C-alpha cells in the first residue's frame, strides 16, 4: 500500500467519523408544540382593598383566571437522562373586573408571554413510558390594558412589566415511535404581572405536547 492509498484510507475514516458525529448530534435534537390551560391566581381581595383605599365603597372584584395557553420550543438531549430546552410561552389574557357603588367599573386584561431556558431531567420506565421534570430561567412580559366607566377615570389605559424569574414542572411521556412522543405536563410560572396592574400573581399551566425527534 503506497502513501496515496494510506491518505485515502485516513480521509475515508475521518469523513465517516464526522458523518457519525453529525448524525448523532442531529438525532439528539427535537422540537415540541404544546397546547393547554393556564390557571392564574389573581388576588381579587387585594385588588378590592386597593380600590377601597382610593375612596370607593361597595367594591367587588371578580377574576377571569383560566385561559387557553400554548408553548413552542426545541431541545437538545446530549445525555440519556438530561435535555436542555428553549421555549416561547403564551399564558393567555387573565384579568379582573372591579365594580363599586360610587358607581363605576374597571376592567383589566393582562397578556402574559415570555421565554424560558430549562434543564429537563428524565427517566424512562421502558421503551414507551417515562417521566420528566423541568426547572430553569423564565423571562416574562405582562401587558395590561384597562377600560374604566363611571367614576373610574384612568390616567393611562395600558402598562407593561417584565420579570426575570424561574419556572418548574413535572410530566409524563408516551413514546409513539422512534421520532414522535406525547407528553402531559404541569408547569408553574411564578411572579407574573406586577404592582402597576394590581399585584403579581402565579400561573399553573396544564398541557399536552407533541414532541418530534430528528
Rg (Cα) of the chain, in Å, rounded? Answer: 25
Q: What is the DSSP letter of 166?
A: E
pTM (2 decimals)?
0.85
Whether the per-residue pLDDT at 180 is higher than 50: the answer is: yes
What's the pLDDT score for residue 6?
33
As a whole-number percent, the residues of the chain with pLDDT over 90 amount to 77
What is the C-alpha to C-alpha distance for residues 18 and 118, in angstroms, rounded to an integer? 29
Range 121-147 average pLDDT: 97
Q: Tens digit of pLDDT for each residue in 2-58?
A: 434 433 333 333 333 433 344 477 889 999 999 999 999 999 999 999 999 988 899
What are the chain's domains?
30-213 (2.40.160.20)
Cell of 1: 500500500
pLDDT at residue 179 tops 60: yes
Amino acid at each position: 500500500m503506497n502513501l496515496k492509498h494510506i491518505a485515502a484510507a485516513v480521509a475515508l475514516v475521518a469523513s465517516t467519523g464526522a458523518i457519525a458525529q453529525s448524525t448523532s448530534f442531529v438525532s439528539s435534537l427535537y422540537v415540541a408544540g404544546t397546547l393547554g390551560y393556564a390557571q392564574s391566581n389573581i388576588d381579587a381581595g387585594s385588588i378590592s382593598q386597593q380600590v377601597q383605599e382610593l375612596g370607593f365603597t361597595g367594591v367587588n372584584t371578580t377574576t377571569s383566571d383560566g385561559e387557553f395557553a400554548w408553548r413552542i420550543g426545541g431541545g437538545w438531549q446530549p445525555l440519556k437522562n438530561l435535555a436542555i430546552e428553549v421555549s416561547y410561552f403564551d399564558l393567555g389574557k387573565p384579568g379582573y373586573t372591579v365594580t363599586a357603588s360610587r358607581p363605576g367599573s374597571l376592567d383589566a386584561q393582562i397578556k402574559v408571554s415570555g421565554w424560558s431556558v430549562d434543564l429537563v431531567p428524565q427517566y424512562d420506565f421502558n421503551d414507551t413510558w417515562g417521566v420528566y421534570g423541568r426547572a430553569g430561567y423564565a423571562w416574562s412580559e405582562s401587558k395590561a390594558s384597562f377600560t374604566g366607566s363611571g367614576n373610574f377615570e384612568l390616567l393611562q389605559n395600558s402598562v407593561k412589566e417584565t420579570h426575570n424569574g424561574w419556572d418548574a414542572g413535572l410530566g409524563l411521556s408516551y413514546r409513539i415511535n422512534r421520532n414522535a412522543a406525547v407528553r402531559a405536563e404541569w408547569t408553574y410560572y411564578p411572579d407574573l404581572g406586577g404592582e402597576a396592574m394590581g399585584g403579581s400573581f402565579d400561573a399553573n399551566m396544564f398541557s399536552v405536547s407533541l414532541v418530534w425527534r430528528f
